[in-house]
C-alpha cells in the first residue's frame, strides 16, 4: 500500500508539474487577429509569386499563437494557448485542468499537406504536465482526439483563400511553419519549403 501511495503521489506531481517548453513563441507579429495575419501574409505570397514561380512564407510562432487562441475549440478547457515549432513538429500548449488540479497540456503535432489545398495535423504526443499520455487514453482526456487545432479558418480567410489551391508544401521550421506556393500554371515543387528562405 505504501508503494502504491508513493506511485500515485509521483504521478500527481508529474501531472501538475510545469513542463519545460523553452523560450516563448517568437517571430514576426503580422497582426493581432486571424484576418490581419491572413491579409499581411497574402500580400507576401502575391509579392513572391509576382517575381518567381514558387515562393514561401513564414507563419511565425507568434502568428500561430494568435491563430490558436482565435480558433480555440474549447476556451473553458484550454486557456492561454501557445504554439512553438521545435524539432520538426508544432508544440501546442495550454493551461487546463483535471478535476480540481490545474495542469499544462501539451500536444506535439505533425504537419501534412492534403490533396484539397489544406493542412492536416497528426498527434505525435500528448503530455499532461511532464507525463506522456498513452495513445489509448487520449480520447478519455479529450474526445476531439486528433483535432486540437485547425488551419482551415486561416486558409479560408479573405486574402489567403485566393492562394489555397496553390499551396504546395508545409514544413515546421525554426520560428514557425513554412508554407510554399506555386504560381498558377506552374508545376508544384514540394521541396521548396525545405530549400527556399521564407519571407516574413
pLDDT tens across 27-53, in order? 999 999 999 999 999 999 999 999 999
SS3 135: helix
Beta-strand relationship, 101-113 and 131-133: unpaired
pLDDT tens across 131-146, in order? 777 664 555 445 444 4
In whole angstroms, give the CA distance from residue 53 to residue 68. Answer: 30
Containing 80, the helix (H) or strand (E) segment is: strand 79-86
Q: What pLDDT does 3 receive?
A: 35
Tell me the angle at which helices 61-70 and 34-51 cross, rounded to the nearest 10 degrees: 140
All structural domains of the chain with their residue ranges:
2-195
Asked if 53 and 186 count as a contact pair (C-beta separation under 8 A), the reply is yes
Q: What pLDDT does 12 receive?
A: 42
CA angle 94, 77, 145 (to 5 degrees): 80
Instruction: State percent of the chain over pLDDT 90.
Output: 47
pLDDT in tens, the chain (200 residues): 443 333 333 344 445 566 778 899 999 999 999 999 999 999 999 999 999 999 999 999 999 999 999 988 888 888 899 999 998 999 999 888 777 878 888 889 999 998 778 898 888 888 887 777 766 455 544 544 445 578 889 999 999 999 999 999 999 999 999 999 999 988 888 888 876 555 54
Asked if 21 and 93 count as a contact pair (C-beta separation under 8 A), the reply is yes
Grid look-up 487514453 returns 137
In whole angstroms, give the CA distance from residue 79 to residue 96. Answer: 6
In whole angstroms, give the CA distance from residue 32 to residue 177. Answer: 18
In whole angstroms, give the CA distance from residue 185 to residue 71. Answer: 33
Residues near 51 by beta carbon (within 8 Å), at least 6 away in sequence:
none
Amino acid at each position: 500500500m505504501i508503494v502504491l501511495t508513493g506511485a500515485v503521489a509521483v504521478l500527481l506531481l508529474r501531472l501538475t508539474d510545469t513542463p519545460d517548453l523553452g523560450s516563448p513563441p517568437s517571430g514576426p507579429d503580422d497582426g493581432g487577429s486571424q484576418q490581419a495575419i491572413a491579409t499581411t501574409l497574402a500580400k507576401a505570397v502575391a509579392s513572391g509569386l509576382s517575381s518567381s514561380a514558387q515562393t514561401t512564407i513564414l507563419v511565425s510562432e507568434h502568428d500561430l499563437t494568435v491563430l490558436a487562441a482565435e480558433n480555440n475549440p474549447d476556451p473553458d478547457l484550454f486557456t492561454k494557448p501557445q504554439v512553438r515549432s521545435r524539432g520538426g513538429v508544432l508544440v501546442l500548449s495550454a493551461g487546463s485542468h483535471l478535476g480540481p488540479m490545474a495542469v499544462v497540456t501539451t500536444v506535439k503535432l505533425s504537419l501534412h499537406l492534403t490533396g484539397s489545398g489544406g493542412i492536416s495535423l497528426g498527434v505525435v504526443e500528448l503530455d499532461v504536465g511532464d507525463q506522456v499520455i498513452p495513445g489509448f487514453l487520449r480520447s478519455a482526456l479529450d474526445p476531439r482526439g486528433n483535432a486540437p487545432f485547425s488551419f482551415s479558418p486561416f486558409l479560408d480567410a479573405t486574402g489567403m483563400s485566393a492562394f489555397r489551391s496553390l499551396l504546395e508544401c508545409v514544413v515546421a521550421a525554426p520560428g514557425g511553419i513554412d508554407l510554399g506556393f506555386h504560381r498558377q500554371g506552374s508545376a508544384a515543387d514540394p521541396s521548396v519549403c525545405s530549400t527556399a528562405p521564407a519571407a516574413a
